[in-house]
Amino acid sequence: MERSFTIMAGAVARATGRPWAFALCVASVIVWAALGPRFQYSETWQLIINTSTTIITFLMVFLIQSTQNRDGAASQAKLDELIRAGHGKNDFIGIEHLTEKEVEEMRALCLRAANRKKKAESQIKRSAGRRAKRQSPPP
């Protein structure tokens, strides 16, 4: 059942994200609005759009959330594998399970490390530039 739901949720999410799906929704609203005078703008006429949009929205929330959860988990697994196989720190594997505060602390550590590296690279470039000037013959 889970596999069937995953396939169906993915298919619905892809289909509803297409331009034709939006065009179909706009056309439905236009048809509904055009039928207003014929039904004398009755409560039933209003109930049709209210009920249908409520049901569709309710179902779509769960389908989209399922798709987002699966895609997020897949992305995290891929990133974890890149970290594990590469030169990244293994401390970052699984940080999506930390609290927001803990993730921000890890992010701050990364920013500080990046700034230190950038500063060191800048100093090396300046030093190399000064050496090159001293060693170059006068014009």
Integer Cα distance of 122 and 128 in angstroms: 10
> What number of other Cβ atoms are within 10 A of residue 106's Cβ?
14
The string of pLDDT tens digits covering residues 37-86 is: 999 999 999 999 999 999 999 999 999 898 898 898 889 888 888 888 88
Q: Which region holds residue 40: left if phi is over 0, alpha if psi is between -120 and 50, else beta? A: left
Rounded to two decimals, the pTM is 0.59
What is the share, in percent, of the chain residues with pLDDT greater than 90? 35
The string of pLDDT tens digits covering residues 15-42 is: 998 999 999 999 999 999 999 999 999 9
Instruction: Assign 125 a pLDDT band (cuts: 50, 70, 90).
Output: confident
